[in-house]
Amino acid sequence: MARPLSQDNVATSTTPLTLYSHWRSSASWRVRIALALKGLAYEYKAINIGTGDNLTAEYTKLNPRQLVPALVTEDGDFADSIAILEYLEEKFPQQPLLPTDLKTRTIVRQVVNLVAANIQPLQNTGVMQNVIEEKLGSEEQLKWTQYWITKGFTALESILKETLGKYSFGDEVTLADVVLVPQVYNAYRYAVDMSQFPTLERLYESLNELDEVKATSPEKQPDAVIS
């Protein structure tokens, strides 16, 4: 499924971009948001993790870790959402998602890595189902998730209350916002008490008003399963 370009006179790829994605993957959602913000068209290829699409030999060539997302481009095939976000930022400079100021740029990257390296990996399917639930049970699985999200959000709240404008860092969307949207969505999904984090709550409300966030939300994807 192709997404239409939303901007004129922007850098484009001579080879169509192809995104391998799972509708509920927060890492995939990050990339979908960035593609939408930069006005980039792409072909959507669904990877059904539940049925093992990610374990096939063909997909493993794209992503040796057998995770989503993967992005096929004219420059090569890339896996890992943060590497893909950095590629998109450098390849397609329109609608920049990193500030020009060095200090702010560094703190944006700090937030990105706090989410991508310290919060989200502890609640992915492999950890949650194959380790926590299997060894400790479903009740402990929820407690595990809530604990690590709360711990990470406590750090994020202290950082972002000093930088918050309309979005995480003033009034322009950055990569920090791109990674925060899926993570806060998951916090609500796992019944984390968000009243502890008024800055994150306010930020999430503002970001959810963006058309690019609405269009790329899990429920709007072609492979979404809504029960």
pTM here is: 0.90
Q: What is the rounded CA–CA span in Å between residue 191 and residue 3?
A: 32
2: number of Cβ within 10 Å: 11
pLDDT tens track for 123-158? 766 665 566 666 666 678 888 889 999 999 999 999
Q: Is the pLDDT at 181 greater than 80, yes or no?
A: yes
Q: What is the rounded CA–CA span in Å between residue 31 and residue 179?
A: 9
- CA-wise closest residue to 42 among 82, 96, 78, 66: 78
Strand, helix or coil for residue 148: helix
| Helix or strand holding residue 31 (H, E) | helix 26-37
If phi > 0 it is left, if psi is from -120 to 50 it is alpha, else beta; for residue 39 that is left
Continuous H helices in 65-209:
81-91, 102-118, 125-127, 134-136, 138-160, 175-189, 198-207
Position 13 confidence tier, pLDDT thresholds 50, 70, 90: low
Say what the pLDDT of residue 144 is.
Answer: 84
- CA-wise closest residue to 222 among 46, 59, 54: 46
Say what the pLDDT of residue 71 is.
Answer: 98
pLDDT tens track for 91-112? 999 999 999 999 999 999 999 9
Say what the pLDDT of residue 130 is.
Answer: 61
Say what the pLDDT of residue 93 is.
Answer: 95
- Of 209 and 11, the structure prediction assigns the larger pLDDT to 209
